[in-house]
Structure 1
Amino acid sequence: MRAKQRKRKKWLWGITGGFTLLLLFVGIYGYSLYHNVKQTANRIHEPIKRSTPEKRPEPISLEKREPISILLIGVDERKGDRGRSDSLIVVTVNPNKKSIEMVSIPRDTRTKIAGKGMENKINHAYAFGGVDMTLSSVEQFLDIPIDYYIKVNMESFKDIVDAVGGVTVNNPFAFTYEGVTFPKGEITLDGEKALKYSRMRYADPRGDFGRQDRQKQIIEAIIKKGASFGSLANYDEILAAIGKNLKTNMTFEQMKDIQANYKDARQQIEQLHINGKGTKMNGTDYFIVPEEERLAISNKLKEHLEIHTAS
């Protein structure tokens, strides 16, 4: 039962994480909205121990429009149990290239856990050491700095999709899931249908990779809602949902700087994929990423972040 509940919740982190990105890339209209956004930003602010990323020797300058990276962490936390990170997506934002790149890290990826001196599933880093250890492990795995994080508690997020008036996605193939038929082509989803659209895996020929792409589709769709965000009459409901379910190390001032200097990056969004294969070791399932694949993804992200790579 618990495994089934986790599957139902996995899609939700992307919805709210995407909406937080939307807040970063759209304008803030009117004093009332500005005031409420500021209150929400202060409510969700949760700093981390380190002052700068381990892979970045000097602090990032948002005013100089230096490319940044954001880690979206979807967690299933319960009372008395920190839980694990069920979803990890790295988002790199380059305002100079006017582009965003997103890559999902499969939760079963076997890698070294920072600070533990051992290899394990990357999603276990959160159980061992929370956000700080997760950031360090992802930085170590991809060899890039992670400047900011957005942590989403995967509970009750479908209301956000409904609050923004639904999302529109381009479905690559027709399928039916839990009594709902999703035709091929452009479709508009409310919160309940978005849940089912993002949950489906076994009918997808690409399995979990296909599901990850549908999660990222919804993030992109919510970001594109930014163009009309100022005219939404129920923004207070959206902000209330965000305030209850998100945490981030971004301050309100940083959000404003990103909104002012990075919003053009939403013009082009590219989805990257990490290839590998599943295997069982000592009775545990792992996802093994070949070293050449890890390096290829790392170099692609470094190029987008304008970080020089060794020749």
Structure 2
Amino acid sequence: MRRSDRRKPKRLWLKIPLIIVGILVLGIGGYVFSVYSNAKNTVNDKMHDPVETIDTDLTKKKLQATEPLNVLLLGIDAEEGQAGRSDAIMVMQLDPITDALTIVSIPRDTRTEIVGKGIQDKINHAYAFGGTDMSVATVENLLDIEIDYYVSINMDGLVELVDELGTITVSNDVEWSDSKYDFPEGIVEMDGDKTMAYVRMRKKDPMGDFGRTQRQRKVIEGILNEGASVGSVPKFSGMMGILGSNMSTNMDFDDMKKLFSGYKDTRRNISEHMMAGTGEKIDGIYYLIVPDEEIQKAHDLLTN
């Protein structure tokens, strides 16, 4: 047997793993491109919705210079026929200079001036009166800050996201039960339907609406944690489809990429603050009256 013939089997066994690796690389590369392309199209074509209140050119300059940014987060809930009202209102500041992320939660019953309407009302009614534009203007006026980006999501969309992921886990602080589910203190695993029951409960929480806002934050964190896992990568396209139908923002895809690359380390230092006040009935309607010093505290947290 010639020497060249004797070498063929060895060379063949060397080539087979290389071919398999090559196919895997090409397959993964194609998948990544598909996901990237799908994400870009979904964000730019379905989610992207600029508002007049926010100066897009100024915001993009701040983003390019990696300056601190304020992002308004709005959770829109259709519970009890209240479609069009922002059930959760938070301002999130991303500060890449100190690698810090600050979240200020504004109770939905906070009584304030509704900018553009000229009346004093609950802050969550701003969305019902004038959509995102009026919500942004009202929050800017209340806290005397500048909003750079907004993100609004239909709270029912969170249920679809959880079901797409399978389940999420949260660290529950208050033990309670309803007619369908038990929520023991500690780690709780939830599907979409159980998640909605978790975020909507108020009466059994000693902290009332404050506790509800905290649970909403826990659910969002649970979705982010589960969505960031390696096992969730194949579900990315489905998740983007759900977000495309339930989420709006003035960010385009390039803005999101820049935020990820320039602001991702802000997650290392997260601080949260819930604005506090006193409940009061005016003309038979319940409001939360937030004192000036509490408003000033929130302003300082988002501007210092």
The TM-score, its normalising length taken from structure 2, stands at 0.81
Aligned to 2:91: 90
Please tell me whether the aligned partners of residues 54 and 148 of structure 2 are also in contact (alpha carbons under 8 angstroms): no
From 20, 31, 34, the equivalent of 1:32 is 34
- Relative contact order (C-alpha < 8 Å, sep 6+): which is higher? 1
From 47, 51, 54, the equivalent of 2:50 is 47
1:155 aligns with 2:143: no
Distance verdict in 2 for CA 1:198–1:95, change over 3 Å: same
Residue 289 of structure 1 aligns to which amino acid in structure 2?
V
| Distance of 1:58 and 1:200 partners within structure 2 | 37
Tell me by how many angstroms 1:138 deviates.
0.1
| Distance of 2:286 and 2:181 partners within structure 1 | 31
Gaps of 5+ in 2: 1-30
Please tell me whether the aligned partners of residues 164 and 232 of structure 1 are also in contact (alpha carbons under 8 angstroms): no
| Distance of 1:299 and 1:189 partners within structure 2 | 37
| Distance of 1:163 and 1:239 partners within structure 2 | 10
Distance verdict in 2 for CA 1:177–1:38, change over 3 Å: same
Q: Which runs of 4+ in 1 moved over 3 A?
A: 56-60, 154-157
Deviations, residues 11-44 of structure 1 (Å, cap 9, x unaligned): xxxxxxxxxxxxxxxxxx8211111110110111
Instruction: Map 1:191-206 to 2 at 5 A.
Output: 191-206=192-207
Residue 217 of structure 1 aligns to which amino acid in structure 2?
K
Instruction: Map 1:1-311 to 2 at 5 A.
Output: 30-42=32-44, 43-52=46-55, 60-76=61-77, 83-225=84-226, 227-228=228-229, 231-303=232-304
Distance verdict in 2 for CA 1:37–1:132, change over 3 Å: same
* 3-state SS of paired residue (2:276): coil
Please tell me whether the aligned partners of residues 135 and 146 of structure 1 are also in contact (alpha carbons under 8 angstroms): yes
Tell me by how many angstroms 1:140 deviates.
0.7
Percentage identity across paired residues of the two chains = 42
Distance verdict in 2 for CA 1:58–1:270, change over 3 Å: closer
Deviations, residues 93-130 of structure 1 (Å, cap 9, x unaligned): 12333332222211221111212333221122222222
Residue 38 of structure 2 aligns to which amino acid in structure 1?
N
User: Rg larger in 1 or in 2?
Assistant: 2
Higher helix fraction (1 or 2): 2
Tell me by how many angstroms 1:244 deviates.
0.8
Please tell me whether the aligned partners of residues 178 and 196 of structure 1 are also in contact (alpha carbons under 8 angstroms): no
Aligned residues: 271
Distance verdict in 2 for CA 1:182–1:82, change over 3 Å: closer
Q: What RMSD over aligned residues (CA atoms) do the two structures have, in Å?
A: 2.5
Deviations, residues 184-220 of structure 1 (Å, cap 9, x unaligned): 1122222122112212211111111111101111122
| Distance of 1:88 and 1:205 partners within structure 2 | 20
Residue 249 of structure 1 aligns to which amino acid in structure 2?
N
